Chain A
């Protein structure tokens, strides 16, 4: 069964500093990978996704992620964090099921930004 591990429960960074959130997946075939962000009281918003092709994926809000098959990783990065980036971030792996699809989420990483 597919699974996702986000080893960092909490991360604190200073505004303007760079950010990397880690994600490791377990999936037998070529994975479909996603990063979502969830702000308090709001639903999840898709930041970026990887299906195939270029392993460096650009997303919204200045985020990017790199797919590394050899390490089973899909880490999220941002060169300069803004205070408004404080939120919870979820990595997910997608699987096509009979007639549908299924996302399996990690447990999330809570990002705190210090001013």
Chain B
């Protein structure tokens, strides 16, 4: 079974530029998550989708971050404009459904460096 796919794996941009990350979850998984992992910290949930609807985006900095999952499958996360403090690994995860007993499977992440 294929895992969660993410691209690109690495991205270097200058501050004030824009960037987008792509995630393809495991087939059949209804729930998709985006996490931000800053160096030395644990992952922090940015947004959670159930199919193509948002169920939690309370920690998403909406002035610069946006995310969509238009057809309830793959998803994109965008940052515009980027700041230095956005340097982090962005992890995508998926699960069969929302309840906690459904394991979240994580992708390898996209490492973003903002100069």
Interface residues of A (CB under 8 A from B): 4, 32, 36, 41-46, 49, 51, 90, 92, 94, 96-108
Contacts and interface: CB of A to CB of B under 8 A. Distances in A.
Interface size class on chain B is 20 to 34
B55 A99 contact: yes
The CB with the most chain B CB atoms within 10 A, among A36, A43, A102, is that of A43
Contacts of A41: 108
Contacts of A108: 40-42
A58 to B, nearest CB: 15
Nearest to B101: A51
Say what secondary structure dominates the interface of chain A. Answer: strand
Interface of B: 3-4, 31, 40-45, 48, 50, 55-56, 91, 93, 98-101, 103-109
B42 A106 contact: yes
A25 B73 CA distance: 33
23 contacts: A4-B42, A42-B108, A43-B3, A43-B93, A43-B105, A43-B107, A43-B109, A46-B103, A90-B43, A97-B55, A97-B56, A98-B55, A98-B56, A99-B50, A99-B55, A100-B48, A100-B50, A101-B98, A102-B48, A104-B45, A105-B42, A105-B43, A108-B41
